[in-house]
Chain A
Amino acid sequence: MKDFVALINAVEITNKTNAKIQALVDYFSKASPKDKLWCIAIFTGKRPSRPVKSTLMKQWCMALINLPEWLFLESYSTVGDLGETLALLHPEPTHSIEKSLSQWMQDIIALKPKTEAEKKAYVLDAWSGLQTQERLIFNKLIGGSFRIGVSKKTLVNALEKLSGIDANQLMHSIIGNWDIDSITFEALINGTHINYDNSKPYPFCLAYALEKPLDELGAVNTWQIEYKWDGIRGQIVKRNGEIYIWSRGEELVTQQFPELVHAMQQFKNDFVIDGEILALKNNSVLLFNDLQKRLNRKNVSKKLLEEVPVGFYAYDILEYNGKDIRHKPLEERRLSLEALFKTTTALAHIKLSQCIQTDHWEALQAIRAASRAINSEGLMLKQKASPYHVGRKKGDWWKWKVDPLTIDAVMIYAQKGSGRRSSKYTDYTFAVKNGDALVTVAKAYSGLTDKEITEVSRFVTKNAIEKFGPVRTVKPELVFEIAFEGIALSNRHKSGVALRFPRIKRWRKDKTVEDIDTIASVKSLIKAQ
C-alpha cells in the first residue's frame, strides 16, 4: 500500500491541479491493474459499504491507550478528521503488515459479515501493523470520505494524460456501470462497457459579467433576455434512447437526478439541451442551499425526492435529431427548443426558460431588482444572432446579477473548521443589536482570505471564554459585513428573521460593535427587498 499512501500524500499537500494530476499519473504507471481499479473505485465513490462503525473504532482506540473521552474529543476537534485522529493517537506499530491496496479492500469486504469481536481483532491487528500514515489510509478505506481534493474531473484528466483517451469519454467510462471483479483496467478506460457516442457532451458556452451601460448594448429587441438562475448548469444529452446529464464541471451527474431522467424519457426525439438544474417545488425555484441537499449522493431517497424535487430550466439546444446546430443563431435555436417542447406535454420537471419581453432597457432595471423575490439572481442578456460559443467569449452573452443585501454584524461564536481548515476558527456566528443585548442572526463560514482567518483565529484564541469543546464564545468586537440573498420573518429563529444564503462579504475593521445593525434595521430590509 506504500504507493497508494505516497499518492494520497502527494495529492493532498498540493493545491495545484497539475501536481495532483502528475501524482495520479505516477501512481497509475506503477500500480498493479487491480490496484488501479480500486484507486478509481475509491475516488469515484464506488466502494464497499462500511463494515465497522466509527463509534466502535473510537471506543477501541480510547480503551487501547486508556484515554478519557473528553481528551479524545479535544484531539478530534484539533485534527478535524476522525480517521486521522485515530491514526495519530495509536502507539508505534509492533509489527509490519505489507498488503496491496486491493488486498486491503478484499479484507474489508470480507469483514462485513463477521462478528464484532472478529472485527475488533482484525482492526487492532491492522492498526498495530501499520505506520501512522498507512493507519490513516486504512481507516479511510474502512469508511469515511477521502476528502483530499481529487475530483472525478482531476482523475479523468490524469487518466487522459496516461492513455490519450478523451477525458469526457473516460468520465463516462468510470461513472458507467462496471464491476471491479469482472472488468480489466484496460477495458475500463477503453470504455468497452459503454457507448461514448451516446453520451458525448459539448463544451459549455459561458457568459461574462456585464461591464458596460445597457444603452451601449444596442437595440433591446436584438437581445434575448432571461432570468439568471443559481443552480447547477447542466447539459442533457439524449441519444438512441439513452440519457446523460453533464454538469458544467464536466462530471456526469445523471444518477443524482432520477426525475430529470424520467422526464426526458417522455421525449421521442434525440437532442442535447443546455439549462439549469434547480430545486423546484410547486412551480417555484428554491434556493441553492436546498439544491445542495441533493448533490453528490450515491442514492437519492424517496423522502429527499419529495422534500427537494429537482427541475430543469432549458436555455438552449445544441443538437437536434443528431444534427449539431450550435452555429445557428440563438434566435433559430430558440425556435427549435420551443418546437421540441411542443412534442410532449405535462412536463412537471422540465421547463423552458422564460424570455422577458420589453421594449426599453429602463424597464429591465426594475425586473432585475425584483428578481430576488423569485429566487433568481438577476438577468441574462444574450445576443439573438449569437452562435453557441465554445467556452467564454466576451460580447454575445452577459450576466447581469442583482446586488446582494448586506448588514453589519458582530461575531459572537467561533468554531474550528474541518479538514484543511481544522487548525483555524473558520465558522462564525453573528449577531446584531436588540436594545442593549445582542441577538444571533446568521452563521457563515466563507468569504475571508486565509490571512484574515488566521487573524480572526488569533483573536478567538485570545478572547475565548470556553477552554474545552469545539465552540468558543468570544468578546463581541469583530464586525463583519454579511451579504445574503433574501430575508424573511421566521418563528423558528430567536431573532425573528431568517437570512437566505448568508456569507461574509468583508471584515469591517473600520467599525466597532457600536456601529452594527439593529434587529429593527435588519427587519426593515424585508419590506425593502
Chain B
Amino acid sequence: MKLVRFTKKGIYCIPGKFYLDPWYPVDYAVISHGHADHAKWGMQHYLCHHHTKPILQHRISADIQVESLAYNEKKKINGVTLSFHPAGHIIGSAQIRLEYKGFVVVFTGDYKTTPDGLTQPYEPVTCHEFITESTFGLPIYKWQTETVLKQSIEDWIASNKMQHKTSVFLGYSLGKSQRIMKLLEGIDAIYVHTAIHNINAAITSSGLKLPKTILLEPDFDKKEIEGKLVILPPALLGSRLLKRIPNAATAICSGWMQIRGNKRWKGVDAGFPVSDHADWNGLLDAVKASKAEKVYVTHGAQAIFAKYLNEIGIPAEEIITAYGEDQLETEGKKTETA
C-alpha cells in the first residue's frame, strides 16, 4: 500500500491529498510542531495540535487559517483517519498518524523519548511504516538523565555566583528556552529576552503553565541582573546586548555539546548536552516500538541510521527532506532546535 509519497514539496498523503510539514506552499498542511523548518509560511490551511496553534499564529501570522486537534483525537480527511500523538519534542509537538484501509503510517516530526517535566511525554505508536527523524543518529549520542543535567547546570551556576558572574544560557526561543526555564526553575530569578517572552505568552495562552520568568527590558538595570540567570536566543552570541550583561558566563544547551570539539568551536564558557531530540538508543527504541515493517529515515544521520537498521534486520530507506538544515549551527534558525 502506498499511503505517502516523498515529493519536492514535502511528504504527501496520496489519498488524503494533504502534506505533512511541507517546505513549499501547499493547500493543506498538517504540522507536527512549531519549529521553523517544519511549520513554514504560505499554506492555505494548517492543521496542528491545540498547543501549536497559538505558536503558528504568533510566528507565521495571526491571519492564517488554522485548525487544531487534541492528542488522540481523530479527524477524517478524504477517507484517511488522522490523529496526533505526543512526540515529547517541544510543547505541542506531535507524531502524525495516518490510517487508510487498515494501513498505518506514522510521521514523527522531531521527537524525544525521555520526559522533561514540561512537554507531554512521547508515546510509541505502532504502524506499518514509520517515518523517523535521525538528528542524533550515531551511537556516541547518549543523553544524561534530567537529574544529572540539572545537577551539572546547578553546579555551574553556583560557581558563577561565587565569582559574581551572571549565568547566560543560549537557546532557541521556542522549545529549548522553555526546557532551560524548567531546568533552572527554583534556582534564581530567570530573565528572558523579548523573543522568548513572546513565545512564552503564546504558549501560556493555551492555558499551559510555565516556570516564572522576568522580561529582560532593552534598558535593563545591570545591577539588578548581575549574578542572576538570563536566557537569550543563540543569535545573540557576540551581540552588544550580551556584552552589556555584567560579568556574563555563557552556556549553550544543545545535544551537539556532547562532543568537546563543538563546545570549543563556539567559544562559550560552558556547553550542556540538553537535547530535545531522541538519542541513539531513543531512536532505536522508537523504531522497535513502532513494530513497523518499513522505516523511512529523514533529517540528520539518515544514511548512517538507515544502513544500521538494515543491518539489524529492519528494512529502512533514507529520505532527503528540507528539515533540520544546518544541523550544526547554533546561530542559524534550526540548530537552535537541536
Contacts of B270 in A (CB 8 A): 13
Q: Which of chain A's residues 72-118 have a Cβ closer than 8 Å to chain B? A: 74-75, 78-81, 84-85, 88-89, 92
- Interchain CB contact under 8 A, B328 and A75: no
Q: Assess whether A163 is interfacial by the CB under 8 Å rule.
A: no
Q: Tell me the count of chain A residues lying within 8 A, CB to CB, of chain B.
A: 33
- Interchain CB contact under 8 A, A420 and B261: yes
- Interchain CB contact under 8 A, A78 and B138: yes
Contacts of A13 in B (CB 8 A): 263-264, 268-271
Of A15, A467, A468, which one neighbours B267 at CB under 8 angstroms?
A15
- Interchain CB contact under 8 A, A89 and B139: yes
- Interchain CB contact under 8 A, B140 and A78: yes
- Interchain CB contact under 8 A, B263 and A88: no
- Whole-angstrom distance between the Cβ of B211 and the nearest chain A Cβ: 27
- Whole-angstrom distance between the Cβ of A224 and the nearest chain B Cβ: 43
- Interchain CB contact under 8 A, B264 and A12: yes
- Interchain CB contact under 8 A, A81 and B260: yes
From A65, A70, A79, A468, residue with most partner B Cβ within 10 Å: A79
* Of A48-56, A264-272, A421-429, the one touching chain B: A421-429
- Interchain CB contact under 8 A, B262 and A423: yes
Contact with A along B156-181 (1 / 0, CB 8 A): 00000000000000000000000000
Of A14, A75, A419, A468, which one neighbours B269 at CB under 8 angstroms?
A14
From A81, A424, A454, residue with most partner B Cβ within 10 Å: A454
- Whole-angstrom distance between the Cβ of A36 and the nearest chain B Cβ: 22
**A89-B142 Cα distance, complex, nearest whole Å:** 8
Q: Assess whether A360 is interfacial by the CB under 8 Å rule.
A: no
- Interchain CB contact under 8 A, B265 and A88: no
Contacts of A88 in B (CB 8 A): 140-142, 258-259
Contact with B along A275-295 (1 / 0, CB 8 A): 000000000000000000000
Contacts of B328 in A (CB 8 A): 423-424, 454, 457-458
Contact with A along B302-314 (1 / 0, CB 8 A): 0110011001000
- Interchain CB contact under 8 A, B258 and A423: no
Q: Assess whether A68 is interfacial by the CB under 8 Å rule.
A: yes
Q: Given A423-B328, A454-B328, A457-B328, decide whether A67 and B139 contact each other with a Cβ distance below 8 A.
A: yes
Contacts of B271 in A (CB 8 A): 13
Of A68, A81, A423, A467, which one neighbours B303 at CB under 8 angstroms?
A467
- Interchain CB contact under 8 A, A458 and B265: no
Q: Assess whether B317 is interfacial by the CB under 8 Å rule.
A: no
- Residue of chain A at shortest CB distance from B330: A454
Contacts of A81 in B (CB 8 A): 260-261
Q: Given A450-B265, A454-B328, A458-B326, decide whether A423 and B139 contact each other with a Cβ distance below 8 A.
A: no
Q: Assess whether B99 is interfacial by the CB under 8 Å rule.
A: no
- Interchain CB contact under 8 A, B259 and A75: no
Q: Assess whether B329 is interfacial by the CB under 8 Å rule.
A: yes
Total cross-chain contacts (CB, 8 A): 77
Contact with B along A167-193 (1 / 0, CB 8 A): 000000000000000000000000000
**A89-B263 Cα distance, complex, nearest whole Å:** 18
- Interchain CB contact under 8 A, A80 and B308: no
- Whole-angstrom distance between the Cβ of B324 and the nearest chain A Cβ: 11
Q: Given A65-B139, A468-B303, decide whether A422 and B263 contact each other with a Cβ distance below 8 A.
A: no
Q: Tell me the count of chain B residues lying within 8 A, CB to CB, of chain A.
A: 29
Of A68, A85, A423, A461, which one neighbours B256 at CB under 8 angstroms?
A423
Q: Assess whether A71 is interfacial by the CB under 8 Å rule.
A: yes
- Whole-angstrom distance between the Cβ of A20 and the nearest chain B Cβ: 12
- Interchain CB contact under 8 A, A79 and B140: yes
- Residue of chain B at shortest CB distance from A417: B261
Contact with A along B255-294 (1 / 0, CB 8 A): 0101111111101111100000000000000000000000
Contacts of B267 in A (CB 8 A): 15
- Interchain CB contact under 8 A, B138 and A421: no
- Interchain CB contact under 8 A, A454 and B329: yes
**A422-B259 Cα distance, complex, nearest whole Å:** 9
- Interchain CB contact under 8 A, A74 and B261: no
Contacts of A467 in B (CB 8 A): 303-304
Q: Given A84-B259, A467-B303, A468-B303, decide whether A75 and B264 contact each other with a Cβ distance below 8 A.
A: no
- Interchain CB contact under 8 A, B138 and A422: no
Contacts of A423 in B (CB 8 A): 256, 259, 261-262, 265, 328
Contacts of B141 in A (CB 8 A): 88
Contact with B along A416-449 (1 / 0, CB 8 A): 0001111110000000000000000000000000
- Interchain CB contact under 8 A, A79 and B311: no
- Interchain CB contact under 8 A, B260 and A12: yes
**A525-B115 Cα distance, complex, nearest whole Å:** 64
Q: Which of chain A's residues 390-428 have a Cβ closer than 8 Å to chain B? A: 419-424
From A13, A70, A461, residue with most partner B Cβ within 10 Å: A13
- Interchain CB contact under 8 A, A419 and B142: no
**A457-B264 Cα distance, complex, nearest whole Å:** 17
Contacts of B268 in A (CB 8 A): 13
**A379-B328 Cα distance, complex, nearest whole Å:** 44
Of A15, A89, A468, which one neighbours B140 at CB under 8 angstroms?
A89
- Whole-angstrom distance between the Cβ of A468 and the nearest chain B Cβ: 7
**A12-B267 Cα distance, complex, nearest whole Å:** 10
Contact with B along A111-131 (1 / 0, CB 8 A): 000000000000000000000
Contact with B along A444-486 (1 / 0, CB 8 A): 0000001000100110010000011000000000000000000
**A13-B259 Cα distance, complex, nearest whole Å:** 11
11 interchain pairs (CB within 8 A)? A12-B260, A12-B263, A13-B264, A14-B269, A15-B267, A71-B138, A74-B138, A80-B261, A92-B142, A423-B261, A454-B328
Sorted nearest first, the 6 A-B pairs with minimum C-beta distance are: A467-B303, A422-B261, A88-B140, A420-B264, A75-B140, A423-B262
Extra contacts, 11 of them, besides A13-B264, A85-B140 (Cβ < 8 A), are: A12-B260, A70-B307, A71-B304, A74-B138, A88-B258, A92-B142, A420-B261, A420-B264, A424-B265, A468-B303, A468-B307
